Chains A and B, each alone.
Chain A
């Protein structure tokens, strides 16, 4: 483990995406400077599905666009597969598939024609188009004009375009936008499947349940800054509370507070909640004081409550950066 700008980074893995002190400023029409990304350190290890979370306007898409060479960073460094980008982007772009924001194709061309133009630009055989179309379930509709597609079909076509390269890294920005429930499920299965096959997927989303279901690790940003990063399991465990059931809750709470474990009232008179990383310590302290536990259970929080807690704190300017586990 090493520490970069307050963020613990596991350097034992090969990092597929790595940014250091990444910053992006935009100049508004009024001549003011708006900072979209400020000093972002992002580390995505090889393999698995990595969630990239943040509220609207938090800098997710801007970060992705900088990684892909569509926007220039104001300062900081970026690496893809260990190669500095954008300088060496041409060397690695063949291994990166990406959907950035909404699918963007020529509306008057058919889906197939759009894909053919892209595949031919990298010298891929036309059969790759057939395979990609089949993978995303657009067979039979690929001859229709792009403008006649539903939003869900457009998303599928965009994902098909990413598959033309047979990528080792897939960057998907809100890929399930506009899909019907069956489509969402299919895309999630496809993403999960790609992750299991060794493709690293960076999934940018604000649908927290989606990230929790699909991703193995995640990074949360707010206002262009890193708020937290780690495996999903660790992120959910971090800051977790335990419900303590005892006969004398007031005495037990005083004891635990004195030992540095914050508590709060529980759902009934004989219970309370304690925030701790070490539940065994709770049992030891109470046992030594002769307060016998009637129950101790983890109160699991979901990603949504964790995310809201983090981003709300960020809005109030209370956050530092948090890193959990060794994934990122």
Chain B
């Protein structure tokens, strides 16, 4: 088995499309990091003076100083005029300066880190797909089986290599990205405390797991469909039609929102997801006849465990189908 693992690792390394995808998995996050760094760069003093010298901005600063509670959030604790003025200038600068300040916490929950997880996860899925799709496309799969006819071992060796490489690359890239953001925030004297860095690394770990699962899933589906194009087509169709279909099932009775794939992915990566689903609330909640309180609260919570179990079950199902099919079907 060790020889087989080494061979599959070499095969992966020698495959040009895979190398290109891995390069993209490094380059795209690097570009995103550079873009975040540029778009959140501090406004220079000259720029600040230029913005605040505009009539509308100066007027807004004065209004803010007169009524800080309506302009600043959270409301200023101090009533010191100088401090209020500084806070107002910062707020108006943020509004009219056209540039957001880098906030690590925002980058994890709804910011670029999630985007990078999505990009890297998608690239790892494509890596798993194209790695083995090439074997089927070129017909070299049959050649490989002439040397190692134990199909379960071949399947497992390829799966292990794809998963490990997916996890390693995604883990490294995501960790580097988060470290980069952290370093950027620290270099700008922005807040990096309060456990936000640890939360980010936790998200990185979950993102790497998701990317590895994506690589394995892409591989398993391609071993099932025996074509990269077919796999991508099926995934595309599922992503377009699947959500609608689940929604339609929900309209037939009972809520199916919980089974939407994207919600489960988000729940798994972000540790917990709160969403609203009012489809199974009692009718009274909508007619205004007595319905109120907790039973009319449409907020639902999906935990990372919920999401993980959902994704794990999908992966297990795809893997079992893929292995079973590979072991039984004739190889062209």
Contact = CB atoms under 8 A, between A and B. Distances in A.
Contact of B147 (A65, A100, A118): A118
A188 interface: no
B15 A65 contact: no
B239 interface: no
28 contacts: A69-B145, A70-B142, A70-B146, A70-B330, A70-B331, A71-B331, A72-B328, A90-B148, A90-B149, A96-B146, A102-B139, A104-B138, A104-B139, A104-B143, A105-B140, A106-B134, A106-B135, A106-B140, A107-B138, A108-B15, A108-B16, A114-B140, A116-B10, A117-B144, A121-B144, A123-B3, A161-B143, A165-B147
Nearest to B3: A123
A32 to B, nearest CB: 17
Q: Name the 4 nearest CB pairs between A and B, nearest first.
A: A104-B139, A71-B330, A69-B149, A121-B7
A133 B3 CA distance: 22
Given A72-B328, A93-B147, A117 B142 contact: no
Nearest to B142: A70
Task: Give the one of B6, B138, B144, B145 with max A CB within 10 A.
Answer: B138
B143 A109 contact: no
A292 to B, nearest CB: 62
A98 B150 CA distance: 17
Interface residues of A, number: 32
Given A121-B147, A121-B148, A100 B7 contact: no
B103 interface: no
A65 B330 contact: yes
Interface of B: 3-4, 6-7, 10-11, 14-16, 134-135, 138-140, 142-150, 328, 330-331
Contacts of B144: 117-118, 121
A63 to B, nearest CB: 13
A206 to B, nearest CB: 21
Interface in A108-164: 108-109, 113-114, 116-118, 120-123, 161, 164
Interface in A45-95: 65, 68-72, 86, 89-90, 93
Contacts of A123: 3
Contact of A100 (B6, B142, B150): B142
Nearest to A109: B14
Contacts of A72: 328, 330
Nearest to B146: A98
Given A70-B146, A106-B138, 16 more contacts: A68-B145, A69-B145, A71-B331, A72-B330, A90-B149, A104-B138, A106-B135, A114-B140, A116-B10, A117-B11, A118-B147, A120-B7, A121-B7, A161-B143, A164-B147, A165-B147
Contacts of A71: 330-331
Contacts of B149: 68-69, 86, 89-90, 93
Nearest to A122: B147
A114 to B, nearest CB: 8
Nearest to A107: B138
Contacts of B3: 120-123
A164 B149 CA distance: 16
A121 to B, nearest CB: 5
B134 A122 contact: no
Contacts of A104: 138-140, 142-143
Contacts of A86: 149
B138 A117 contact: no
B142 A120 contact: no
A107 B137 CA distance: 10
A97 to B, nearest CB: 8
A89 B149 CA distance: 7
Contact of B143 (A96, A107, A118, A120): A118
Task: Give the one of A68, A89, A117, A121 with max B CB within 10 A.
Answer: A121
Interface string A173-188: 0000000000000000
Contacts of B148: 90, 93, 121-122
A65 to B, nearest CB: 7
B10 A117 contact: yes
B165 to A, nearest CB: 17
Given A105-B143, A118-B144, A113 B150 contact: no
B7 A117 contact: yes
B140 A120 contact: no
B302 to A, nearest CB: 42
Contact of B6 (A70, A120, A122): A120
Given A71-B330, A104-B138, A106-B134, A120 B146 contact: no
A93 B146 contact: yes
B18 to A, nearest CB: 11
Contacts of B142: 70, 100, 104
A16 to B, nearest CB: 17
Interface in A252-292: none
